[in-house]
Amino acid sequence: MRLSVILLPLLIMSAVAAAELPKPSPPRGDGAQCVEPTDVMRRDHMRFLMHQRDETMHRGIRTKKHSLVECLNCHTQKDEQGRFVSINAPGQFCQECHAYSGVKMDCFECHATTPRQPTPGSARSRDHLLGDVFTPLQFMR
């Protein structure tokens, strides 16, 4: 009897809460599917990212599968002007679920929140020029 007196209000409150809070609906990424199945990603994306970051930083392994830069390449949206929107802005991919679950993200304190913006004539287009000193193997990739 006492148990139901305690449990019942809790059940009602959680049902009410669940009913009022909309489920997160992050925008779809590019392509048919992600590099891992959705349920695997939901559960384990931090495990992949934490492993990948150590592999990349300490061992120089830059495979694209679990690369954060590659995540952004598919999962960032563009606005009307064709510029990428920050992935951690409200309503965008990461933030939709993270705001719902109340888990703070540390990644974008340091990591860029968009791929390089497609602005023509920016100084960064310079890095596509080769210059007159080759490093060997330029052509071998």
Partner 1 sequence: MPSSNQNSQINESRRKWVGGAGAAAAVLTLAPGVRLLELAAARSEEEPVSGKVRWGMLVDTTKCAQGCTECVDACNDEHGLIGMGRPLTDAQYIRKLDLKDKLTGKTYSLPVMCQHCETPPCVDVCPTGASFRRADGIVLVDKHICIGCRYCMMACPYKARSFVHEDLTNQVPETPRGKGTVESCNFCVHRVDRDRDPACVEACAQAGHKALVFGDLNDASSAVSQQMAELPSRQIREDLGLNTGVRYHGV
| Residue 123 in the binding site for partner 1 (CB under 8 A) | yes
Contact pick of 15, 16, 69, 83 for partner 1 (by CB under 8 A): 69
Minimum distance, C-beta of residue 73 to partner 1, in the bound complex (Å): 9
Measured from the CB atom, the residue of 24 and 29 that comes closer to partner 1 is 29
| Residue 109 in the binding site for partner 1 (CB under 8 A) | yes
**Partners of residue 84 on adjacent β-strands:** 78
| Residue 79 in the binding site for partner 1 (CB under 8 A) | no
With CB under 8 A, what is the number of residues at the site for partner 1? Answer: 37
| Residue 75 in the binding site for partner 1 (CB under 8 A) | no
Q: Kindly report the number of other CB atoms within 10 A of residue 38's CB atom.
A: 9
**C-alpha gyration radius of the chain:** 21
Minimum distance, C-beta of residue 99 to partner 1, in the bound complex (Å): 19
Rounded Cα distance, 66 and 87, in Å: 17
| Residue 77 in the binding site for partner 1 (CB under 8 A) | no
Rounded Cα distance, 124 and 109, in Å: 22
Query: In this structure, what DSSP letter does residue 134 have?
Result: P
Rounded Cα distance, 6 and 131, in Å: 74
